[in-house]
């Protein structure tokens, strides 16, 4: 594997999950793979879990790690060709990428959707330039349209906790004061379908995701109906994907236009009561009492900490595969 940007890069997902569980049981057994190799982690956006877990994963594999926060200490980067650079951006990505690649054997990139252009976001303007111009293996640490390290960690977590062969997994939209990318829900839906689960996606009208990512899932606009019999509930906010509304918070940006009781979507005991004693999941960070109530996230069926712990394992599995095939 040279690039990791979506579920297809893993081949058979259930095989990858099995491999990840082996990695989890023997996480320091592969140090020879990364000896004298450097993993460069480039962040265009903030992070807690990805920053820590991916460094830990690379170090488990014997690698050196370098972390660069592009917006805190590096030169501001221009990303578009043809721009007259007379503003505050001192360096172009097209020089910066090959320079960064000089110091790295493998590169991880975090670059969220900017919501300036749906086309640029869905063509992964930043990530694709790293793939094109670095000459190095590249993996996504959450880019504009996907968060495949998070989704793999979530699948590992579901496999560890499922009580039936084919659990019902419900991904629900939930309220947020801001406008968040579609990366996490895109990847979660795509991975959960690929894992063979019964997948239901529930959200208010207007929050339909790119159908490319939800193919194979059932879309249900009635949240209570969606939750009935669920084994796992995955909550997440996302902004609108549809043309004309792309990147918008429909409640804040179009007040009164949508006939929706937004607050009723917060996951609480009311919805969890109709599930099959479902586990609660969220990628974190989470806005309590917007996305989920204190009681549910602190409850005995909450998996938010095991999911975060499995971020180390998903990253180690991916970097291990790159080291095994590319060096």
To ligand CP, the closest distance from the beta carbon of 283 in angstroms equals 4
The site map against ligand CP for 40-59 (x = CB under 6 A) is: -------xxxx---------
Q: Give whichever of 236 and 279 is closer to ligand CP, judged by the CB atom.
A: 236
| Rounded Cα–Cα distance for residues 323 and 2 (Å) | 9
Q: Give whichever of 51 and 92 is closer to ligand CP, judged by the CB atom.
A: 51
Q: Give whichever of 150 and 186 is closer to ligand CP, judged by the CB atom.
A: 150
To ligand CP, the closest distance from the beta carbon of 23 in angstroms equals 19
> Distance of CA 159 to CAs 26, 105, 252, 303, 327, Å?
18, 32, 37, 12, 30
- The greatest distance separating any two alpha carbons of the chain, rounded to the nearest whole angstrom, comes to 60
Q: Give whichever of 250 and 308 is closer to ligand CP, judged by the CB atom.
A: 308
To ligand CP, the closest distance from the beta carbon of 173 in angstroms equals 17
Structure tokens at 324: 């095994």
Structure tokens at 260: 């929706």
Q: Give whichever of 219 and 309 is closer to ligand CP, judged by the CB atom.
A: 309
Q: Give whichever of 152 and 250 is closer to ligand CP, judged by the CB atom.
A: 152
Q: Give whichever of 134 and 150 is closer to ligand CP, judged by the CB atom.
A: 150
For residue 176, the 8-state DSSP code is -
Q: Name the nearest CA neighbour of 303 among 283, 286, 289.
A: 283
For residue 303, the 8-state DSSP code is -
| Rounded Cα–Cα distance for residues 139 and 245 (Å) | 29
Number of residues in contact with ligand CP, rule: CB under 6 A? 9
Residue from the set 113, 174, 226, 283 that interacts with ligand CP by CB under 6 A: 283
Check if the beta carbon of residue 154 is closer than 8 Å to that of residue 233. Answer: no
Query: Is 305 a residue that touches ligand CP (CB under 6 A)?
Result: no
Q: Give whichever of 178 and 196 is closer to ligand CP, judged by the CB atom.
A: 178
Residue from the set 68, 94, 284, 290 that interacts with ligand CP by CB under 6 A: 284
Check if the beta carbon of residue 232 is closer than 8 Å to that of residue 281. Answer: yes
Per CB under 6 A, contacts with ligand CP among 88-147 are 142
To ligand CP, the closest distance from the beta carbon of 43 in angstroms equals 9
To ligand CP, the closest distance from the beta carbon of 212 in angstroms equals 22
Per CB under 6 A, contacts with ligand CP among 139-198 are 142, 150
Check if the beta carbon of residue 108 is closer than 8 Å to that of residue 70. Answer: no
To ligand CP, the closest distance from the beta carbon of 281 in angstroms equals 11
| Rounded Cα–Cα distance for residues 128 and 134 (Å) | 10
For residue 274, the 8-state DSSP code is T
To ligand CP, the closest distance from the beta carbon of 57 in angstroms equals 13
Task: With H, G, I as helix, E, B as strand and everything else as coil, classify residue 180.
Answer: coil
| Rounded Cα–Cα distance for residues 270 and 296 (Å) | 10
To ligand CP, the closest distance from the beta carbon of 285 in angstroms equals 6
**3-state SS string over 64-117?**
EEEEEECCCCCCCEECCCCCCCCCCCCEEHHHHHHHHHHCCCEEEEECCCCCCC
| Residues making contact with ligand CP (CB under 6 A) | 47-50, 142, 150, 283-285
């Amino acid at each position: 594997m040279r690039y990791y940007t979506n579920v297809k890069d893993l081949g058979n997902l259930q095989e990858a999950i099995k491999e990840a569980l082996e990695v989890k049981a023997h996480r320091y057994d592969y140090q020879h793979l990364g000896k004298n190799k450097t993993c460069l982690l480039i962040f265009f956006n903030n992070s807690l879990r990805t920053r820590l877990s991916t460094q830990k994963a690379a170090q488990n594999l014997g690698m050196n790690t370098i972390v660069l926060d592009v917006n805190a200490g590096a030169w501001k980067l221009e990303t578009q060709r043809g721009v007259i650079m007379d503003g505050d951006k001192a360096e172009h990505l097209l020089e910066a990428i090959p320079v960064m690649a000089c110091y790295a054997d493998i590169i991880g990139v975090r670059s969220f959707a900017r919501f300036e252009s749906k086309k640029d976001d869905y063509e992964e303007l930043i990530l694709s330039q790293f793939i094109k111009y670095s000459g190095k293996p590249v993996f996504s640490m959450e880019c504009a349209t996907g968060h495949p390290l998070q989704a793999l960690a979530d699948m590992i977590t579901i496999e560890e906790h499922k009580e039936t062969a084919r659990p019902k997994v419900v991904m629900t939209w939930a309220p947020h004061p801001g406008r968040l990318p579609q990366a996490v829900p895109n990847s979660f839906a795509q991975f959960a379908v690929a894992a063979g689960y019964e997948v239901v996606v529930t959200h208010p009208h207007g929050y339909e995701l790119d159908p490319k990512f939800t193919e194979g899932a059932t879309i249900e606009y009635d949240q209570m109906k969606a939750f009935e019999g669920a084994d796992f509930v995955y909550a997440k906010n996302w902004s609108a994907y549809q043309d004309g509304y792309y990147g918008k918070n429909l409640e804040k940006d179009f007040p009164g236009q949508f006939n929706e009781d937004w607050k009723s979507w917060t996951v609480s005991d009311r919805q969890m009561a109709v599930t099959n004693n479902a586990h609660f999941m969220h990628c974190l960070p989470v806005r309590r009492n917007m996305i989920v109530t204190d009681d549910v996230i602190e409850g005995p069926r909450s998996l938010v900490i095991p999911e975060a712990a499995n971020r180390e394992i998903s990253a180690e599995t991916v970097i291990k595969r790159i080291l095994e095939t590319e060096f």
